[in-house]
């Protein structure tokens, strides 16, 4: 698979590959389109058969969020993130904290709702402190 061709195929603006060995984090954040505003989306944790499958899924999901925001009349674009792993065995506070650090770094282009529970992403026994660590908030627009 040609990664850059796949990303450009549907007009994605940015794709971030996230890896932190200490906690087993493997994730991909995709921003599809920010023409109307920051990207809106969520996080999916799934045990993919391959990295290629994870990339194709996050690209498809991010594009779908662009269309959903547009149909809803929102001044937002579309984005999505996937965490590669078995949500029944690999969810941990350390994993979500690491993901939160990556998400925060790419938040200038996105308003991805990291706290939404999409496909098994809500961490077990999330404390208020932990959820603040891995949640993102929309950037403020300048006037």
Contact 90/99 with Cβ under 8 angstroms? no
Question: Residue 105's closest CA among 25, 11, 14?
Answer: 14
| Residue 72: how many other CB atoms lie within 10 Å | 9
Residues marked as catalytic: 80
- Taking the chain, what is the end-to-end CA distance rounded to the nearest angstrom? 42
Question: Residue 119's closest CA among 70, 71, 79, 86?
Answer: 86
Give just the sign of the alpha carbon dihedral 64, 65, 66, 71: positive
CA distance 22 to 3: 26
Contact 55/63 with Cβ under 8 angstroms? no
């Amino acid at each position: 698979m040609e990664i850059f061709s796949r990303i450009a195929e549907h007009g994605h603006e940015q794709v971030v590959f996230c890896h932190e060995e200490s906690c087993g984090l493997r994730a991909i954040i995709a921003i599809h389109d920010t023409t109307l505003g920051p990207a809106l989306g969520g996080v999916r944790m799934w045990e993919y058969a391959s990295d290629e499958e994870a990339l194709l899924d996050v690209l498809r999901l991010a594009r779908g969020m662009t269309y959903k925001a547009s149909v809803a009349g929102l001044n937002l674009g579309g984005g999505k993130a996937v965490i590669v792993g078995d949500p029944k065995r690999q969810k941990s506070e350390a994993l979500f904290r690491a993901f939160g650090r990556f998400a925060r770094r790419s938040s200038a282009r996105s308003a991805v709702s990291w706290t939404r529970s999409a496909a098994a992403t809500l961490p077990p026994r999330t404390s208020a402190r932990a959820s603040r660590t891995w949640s993102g908030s929309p950037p403020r627009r300048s006037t």
